[in-house]
């Protein structure tokens, strides 16, 4: 295991630092709060000659992803970043990148979608494109943001699937933390030299990209994409094992925190998982067997693995930082409940919609959820969906 340097970095700085060490061939980007700093800092690395990247400033996020598609299809290692409305403007091109199996890495700083206009965190932007064909990896803190960016490059290129790596806007993107930065040489060796099998500039073996695909073959080609996506779970785990060798930090499809002997547990993604761990520790000291499951990979959704981790619990609360607008529950909860339905288990699962537009989620809010979950485990009825922290 290599020993890195301990430094103070915000989430945005950590992701930009990872990009510098990766040294992609092309970065095409357009600024948007709170993700602007990622590509702004990286642009300074380009200007200072610290990377050999071709930096392409464009006129919109749609153009940014369009340029990334062109770069990746031509055989270049390609990265970018965005947030919120920028991700919404990219959405058309995200489907094209995924359908072409292009290994682009996209740093997304989670931020609420308008309207009303809001620049703070929730997960509505990432959830909007959850079925676009991109792998989605959520980060709890700056360390995970840095580590996930480095792993994402290798995951994308081995699976031939683009990858989104997220952090929570302002909470992580602008919050300063102590993290370990690996040596440049170790990161360079880990990601290796990108050698695409097929690309547009491979003139001796020409290919077509973006061809018209009507009723004769479209279905078959989408099925190939879907099967490749299913197979990416193994790739994600393999890359995590390789990363653990150089970093000493282990990653999986999700993290279990004091879950093995828990009787009740929360399921939470992103920065809220860190707050939940504090509450779990406090409740354990009081004798309550509380636990946490933190999904790291939301797409592909690790249904079987999560079921195995949760099936012994008496009751579960799923925390959603986005709503599905009367789709009965939030998107994360819908996945969890559908998984239990598939195996015929009718387990109490409560859904809490929280933190929309950056509304604070405090330890006492999470303690309240655990209190209500304890009542449900004891047989008391509670609303299946609740809006936590809102003024009703």
Tens digits of residue pLDDT in 225-262: 999 999 999 999 999 999 999 999 999 999 999 999 99
d(CA 349, CA 385): 9
The whole-number pLDDT of residue 326 equals: 84
H helices of the chain, in order, are: 11-22, 36-47, 61-73, 84-99, 124-128, 142-159, 184-191, 218-247, 272-285, 303-310, 331-342, 363-377
d(CA 57, CA 310): 45
d(CA 258, CA 265): 9
User: Do residues 274 and 128 touch, judged by C-beta distance below 8 A?
Assistant: no
Domains of the chain listed by start with CATH number: 5-247 (3.40.50.970), 254-388 (3.40.50.920)
104 has a pLDDT exceeding 90: yes
2 has a pLDDT exceeding 80: no
pLDDT mean across residues, the chain: 97
Mean pLDDT of 335-351: 92
d(CA 48, CA 45): 5
The whole-number pLDDT of residue 52 equals: 98
Per-residue pLDDT of 269-314, as tens digits, reads: 999 999 999 999 999 999 999 999 999 999 999 999 999 999 999 9
Percent of the chain scoring above 90 in pLDDT: 96
The whole-number pLDDT of residue 343 equals: 86
Per-residue pLDDT of 357-386, as tens digits, reads: 999 999 999 999 999 999 999 999 999 999
| Helices 218-247, 142-159: crossing angle, 10 deg rounding | 130
Token code pair at residue 5 = 């340097």
Spell out the residues 6+ positions from residue 334 whose beta carbon is closer than 8 angstroms to its own.
Answer: 324, 327, 328
The whole-number pLDDT of residue 344 equals: 85
Burial of 40 (C-beta count, 10 Å sphere; 0-12/13-18/19+) = middle
Question: Which of the 8 DSSP states describes residue 78?
Answer: E
71 has a pLDDT exceeding 90: yes
18 has a pLDDT exceeding 70: yes
Mean pLDDT of 50-76: 98
Per-residue pLDDT of 309-340, as tens digits, reads: 999 999 999 999 999 998 889 999 999 999 99
Burial of 238 (C-beta count, 10 Å sphere; 0-12/13-18/19+) = middle
The whole-number pLDDT of residue 146 equals: 98
Per-residue pLDDT of 129-154, as tens digits, reads: 999 999 999 999 999 999 999 999 99
Percent of the chain scoring above 70 in pLDDT: 99
Per-residue pLDDT of 174-205, as tens digits, reads: 999 999 999 999 999 999 999 999 999 999 99
The whole-number pLDDT of residue 346 equals: 87
Give, in order, the Cα–Cα distances in Å from 127 to each of 22, 270, 346. Answer: 27, 13, 26
**135-138 vs 297-299, strand pairing mode:** antiparallel
1 has a pLDDT exceeding 90: no
- pTM assigned to the model: 0.97
The whole-number pLDDT of residue 345 equals: 85
């Amino acid at each position: 295991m290599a020993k890195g340097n301990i430094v103070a970095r915000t989430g945005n700085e950590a992701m930009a630092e990872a990009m510098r060490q990766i040294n992609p061939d092309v970065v095409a980007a357009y600024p948007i709060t709170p993700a602007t700093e990622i590509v702004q800092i990286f642009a300074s690395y380009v200007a200072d000659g610290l990377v050999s990247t071709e930096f392409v400033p464009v006129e919109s996020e749609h153009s940014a992803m369009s340029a990334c598609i062109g770069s990746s299809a031509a055989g270049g290692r390609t990265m970018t970043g965005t947030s919120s409305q920028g991700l919404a403007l990219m959405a058309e091109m995200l489907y094209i990148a995924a359908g072409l199996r292009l290994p682009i890495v996209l740093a997304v700083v989670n931020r609420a979608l308008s309207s009303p206009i809001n620049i703070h965190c929730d997960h509505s932007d990432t959830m909007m494109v959850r079925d676009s064909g991109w792998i989605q990896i959520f980060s709890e803190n700056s360390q995970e943001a840095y580590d996930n960016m480095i792993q994402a490059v290798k995951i994308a290129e081995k699976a031939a699937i683009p990858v989104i790596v997220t952090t929570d806007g302002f909470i992580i993107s602008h919050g300063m933390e102590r993290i370990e930065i690996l040596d440049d040489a170790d990161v360079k060796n880990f990601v290796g030299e990108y050698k695409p099998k097929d690309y547009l500039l491979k003139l001796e073996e020409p290919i077509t990209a973006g061809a018209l695909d009507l009723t004769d073959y479209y279905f078959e080609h989408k099925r190939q994409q879907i099967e490749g996506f299913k197979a990416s779970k193994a790739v994600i785990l393999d890359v995590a094992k390789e990363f653990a060798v150089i970093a000493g930090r282990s990653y999986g499809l999700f993290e279990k925190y004091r879950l093995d002997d828990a009787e009740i547990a929360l399921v939470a993604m992103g920065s809220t998982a860190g707050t939940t761990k504090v509450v779990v520790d406090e409740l354990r000291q009081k004798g309550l067997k509380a636990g946490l499951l933190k999904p790291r990979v939301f797409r592909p959704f690790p249904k079987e693995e999560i079921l195995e981790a949760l099936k012994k619990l008496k009751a579960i609360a799923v925390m959603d930082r986005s709503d599905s607008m009367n789709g009965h529950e939030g998107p994360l909860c819908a996945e969890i409940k559908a998984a239990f339905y598939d195996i015929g288990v009718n387990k109490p699962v409560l859904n809490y919609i929280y933190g929309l537009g950056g509304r604070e989620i405090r330890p006492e809010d999470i303690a309240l959820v655990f209190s209500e979950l304890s009542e449900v485990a004891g047989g008391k009825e509670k609303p299946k969906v609740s809006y936590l922290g809102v003024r009703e």
